[in-house]
Amino acid sequence: MNINPQDQMMEEMELQESLAQIEHKILVLSGKGGVGKSTVASNLAMSLALDGKKVGLLDIDLHGPSIPKIFGLDGKYLQQEDGKILPLEVGNLKIVSVGFMLQHQDDAVIWRGPLKYSVIKQFIKDVKWGALDYLIVDSPPGTGDEPLSIAQLIKDADGAIVVTTPQNVALADVRKSITFCHKLNLPVIGVIENMSGFVCPHCGERVDIFKVGGGEKMASEMNVNFLGRIPIDPNIVEATDEGKSFIYYYSKTETAKSFLEVIKKIEDFIEKNSNAKPKQDALKKDDKQNTKEAKDVRVLRIGMPTSGGKLNAHFGRSDELTIYDLKLPEKSIVNKDIVKMPPHEEGSFPNFVKQNNVNLLIVGGIGPKAIEILEQNGVDVLKGVSEDDPESIIRLYIDGKLKDSDNDCDHGKGNCH
């Protein structure tokens, strides 16, 4: 398949520009369906918005979007302005869901992985989110296409909140979500045990319908934070059916108070872990003052594995990495570096490429494992290049004449890493 790598790079930069305006990003995950994940995501988002924060809620449960119903927005549709998608707004809360794209609420979404990835990417890159304090992402259950896509697209997420119910049948699946986060280097903010007991609104007696404590025990065993328990409350069902905010209309209930305690722990976690990051307010201020200048000096770093000044046909056998910096949008060469490759160990070369802030790697042959590692690290790959002179290759790229083609790597039958 022929792709236009320049268009890919421009899309990536638009994506990062959109994300740069969002200070904190939180993913809400669960390995099990029916644990109240959307309830947690919606009440977290609304609570933060009621506290005066600018919040976005992104619903990527493409096959079963619940957010439109929870907020009483069924039948509403996304609009566009100046080529950007406008989210629906409820006070300080901006909401985007595939449910706002369906002509009929009973329509089934029948999409495969690549299309899901494209739609989720569009929901970040092409939506007019503006400056946000928080973006809350409501994911579908499991560890499939949607959670993987959002984790790869939002590489600087503050972390994931994992929702479970107390019983063992849910905990077994939810453990996989925590393992999923670890494998993707996504911090786990903590575990919420939802539907944890029922508090009678009349007498105050507590009944543990689905047992209690399973989520806390699992969090301890997997060495992650336990954020708290949320009791069952019939008012949540009533609020959802009526499209009303539970955390607002039923703020005096024990369940609402439990939500607020959990949310306080989430904010404390983020504040503690944000101290090591650059101050976003200062960055946003600089961006506003220098928007045009920043766009003019955007740089695309293109790397090529070379040996003796020539493109090495095998990525894993190269001695050096030749890097060109291209100033965008005019695509002029502003710098060239040649750095020595590290000693060869499995997986070392892709990581080295990422460490040198390369956005695009141009290669002759490369193995599928190396491509997977590079793409997970946000590095695009253009493979199957037959030209061996780096200067000629970069000129072909600038002229839009360099195309992705079949991988010709024969090192270990495609295992060139």
Stretch among 58-62, 358-362, 406-410 having the lowest mean pLDDT: 406-410
Q: Which amino acid is at 108?
A: A
Question: How large a percentage of the chain has pLDDT more than 70?
Answer: 86
Which of helix, strand or coil describes residue 127? strand
Stretch among 108-122, 154-168, 384-398 having the lowest mean pLDDT: 108-122
pLDDT at position 250, please? 92
The Cβ-side half-sphere exposure at 96, using a 13 Å CA radius, reads 24
**Dihedral-angle region of residue 243 (phi above 0 means left; psi in -120 to 50 means alpha; beta otherwise):** left
Give the whole-angstrom CA distance, residue 277 versus residue 252. 36
Closest CA to 151 of 162, 163, 137, 171: 137
pLDDT in tens, 228-260: 999 988 899 899 889 999 999 999 888 999 999
Structure tokens at 198: 């029922």
pLDDT at position 49, please? 94
- pLDDT band, residue 391 (cuts 50/70/90): very high
Residue 26 DSSP one-character state: E
Stretch among 4-13, 82-91, 135-144, 207-216 having the lowest mean pLDDT: 4-13
Average pLDDT over residues 45-62: 95
- pLDDT band, residue 110 (cuts 50/70/90): confident
- pLDDT band, residue 103 (cuts 50/70/90): confident
pLDDT in tens, 341-357: 888 776 678 888 888 88
Give the whole-angstrom CA distance, residue 234 versus residue 23. 34
Average pLDDT over residues 327-346: 82
Domains in the chain with CATH codes: 5-280 (3.40.50.300), 297-398 (3.30.420.130)
Give the whole-angstrom CA distance, residue 411 versus residue 400. 29
Give the whole-angstrom CA distance, residue 280 versus residue 284. 6
The mean pLDDT value of the chain amounts to 84
